[in-house]
Amino acid sequence: MKQGDFLMHYLGIDWANDKHDLCLLADDGRILSQFVITHDLAGFVTLQDHLKTLSDVRINIERSDGLLVDWLVQQGYNLFITPPHILAHRRPTRVKDDKGDAYLLAYLLRLDDRDCRPYSVQSHTVMHLRQLIRAYDHALGEQRRMSNQLIYSLRQYYPAALNLFTKIYTLIGLAFLERYPTPQHAQALSREELEQFLRGHHYAYPGRIDMIYRNLKTPMPLASIQHGHVEYVKLLIPLLRMVFHHKNALIRQIRTLFNAHPEANWWLRFHGTTGPLTPARMLAWIGDDRSRFPTAESLQAVAGTVPVTRRSGKSKSVEFRTACSHTLRSAVDDLARQSMRHSSWARAYFQQQLDNGHSVPRAYRALGNRWLKIIWTLWQSGEMYDELKHIANRSRKGAVLPLAQAV
């Protein structure tokens, strides 16, 4: 391939933690060089030395983040991404080989393969949002993991503690376990002391105090040995408290950063973005680069809301799409579920999917797919979403109307 009067070159980079395998192909497919660089500035300079005499280079790599990707973008290279799960399906032998993967990445790019997606340069705010949301998701995962460990340990020696509050791993639940770490401490607790503790932690449900006290005083068999469980719970309490505070701090940062983006109000107009982080997630994973998704179908495919059709000979199958952005798929699922509470046409559309025999998850996926079509269309024009206008448009096209709108 030629671009203008310049020969094109194609570089495949197999990413690893400490080093990267590279393969450089000529315009006619010849292997010009295969080499390895270290994951540091010296290695990046070595790469630059290899490429500086070439007229034009396209680079294909397995991931879209990290120091190497940042450096390549800063140097102005023409970058493409082929994710690892897609590359795994394209290997001839399905056996992981770093040198072979580097060649395959360059080879696919030279063929202009559709799995080589142009790297989309997003705004600083979007990139910052992505990092904060990833940090929040990690914190949420750690909270779930440690909460499950806390619940398991309490079931071994202190099950009454699990019935006191909606969630024992909230701040008030952790404070109670810290002050009354064993069933013996709970049995010795008076009604007055319980009320004083709850007032001190601004407990908002005084009508439940009798129930809490009864749960604590209900006779239960005592574990013959509990010291190890007690010590582990004591270890988990400050860790869960730290994660709780850090997670809330991340939520505040995400909201502040999202609200500062010029398209924040545009996202908030959609009736499914009422969750605390859903609009920020949608902006982060879709981004603000209009050229990234040339069609609504390309956005829907990346979000995994449309199935994939596989053909082999005379056979054809339509299957659930597993190769997609799972972070975007999760955000779209949140949007679809939340829109059920606020959008009349969304409820009608969801019910129509159920009436057609689809499962609940598939109905939500279909609703999310519909939302993405709307989002992409308005994204291209910059027009704000209008619920009544959309219902009127659906009516003109003969779509199922909400009951309140039906005639």
For residue 98, give the CATH number of its domain: 3.30.420.10
Report d(CA 16, CA 38) in Å as an integer: 9
Domain that residue 109 falls in: 2-118
Number of domains in the chain: 3
Quick check: is 338 in a domain? yes
Residue 65 has a pLDDT of 85
Quick check: is 197 in a domain? yes
From 118, 138, 155, give the residue that closes a domain: 118
Q: Using the 8-state DSSP alphabet, how is residue 223 labeled?
A: P
Which residue type sits at 10? Y
Residue 115 has a pLDDT of 82
The two beta strands, 56-61 and 2-3, are: unpaired
Start-to-end CA span in the chain (Å): 59
Report d(CA 61, CA 117) in Å as an integer: 10
**Are residues 234 and 279 both part of a single domain?**
no
From 88, 118, 148, give the residue that closes a domain: 118
Quick check: is 402 in a domain? no
**Are residues 302 and 342 both part of a single domain?**
yes
Report d(CA 331, CA 273) in Å as an integer: 10
Quick check: is 80 in a domain? yes
Residue 1 has a pLDDT of 44
Per-residue pLDDT of the chain (407 residues), as tens digits, is: 444 445 899 999 999 889 999 999 999 999 999 999 999 999 999 999 999 888 799 999 998 888 999 999 889 899 999 988 788 888 887 667 889 999 999 999 999 888 888 888 889 999 999 999 999 999 999 999 999 999 999 999 999 999 999 999 999 999 999 999 999 999 999 999 999 999 999 998 989 999 999 999 888 888 999 999 999 999 999 999 999 999 999 999 999 999 999 999 999 999 877 767 999 999 999 999 888 888 999 999 989 998 776 655 566 666 667 767 889 999 999 999 999 999 999 999 999 999 999 999 999 999 999 999 999 999 999 999 999 999 988 888 766 555 444 32
Q: What is the CATH number of the domain that holds 187?
A: 1.10.287
Residue located via tokens 């009951």: 403
Quick check: is 281 in a domain? yes
The model's pTM: 0.81
**Are residues 345 and 284 both part of a single domain?**
yes
**Are residues 270 and 250 both part of a single domain?**
no
**Are residues 268 and 391 both part of a single domain?**
yes
**Are residues 210 and 89 both part of a single domain?**
no
**Are residues 176 and 224 both part of a single domain?**
yes
**Are residues 105 and 157 both part of a single domain?**
no
**Are residues 131 and 251 both part of a single domain?**
yes
**Are residues 227 and 278 both part of a single domain?**
no
* Phi, psi (deg, nearest 5) at residue 316: -145, 135
Token pair listed for 6: 């310049």
**Are residues 108 and 186 both part of a single domain?**
no
Quick check: is 134 in a domain? yes
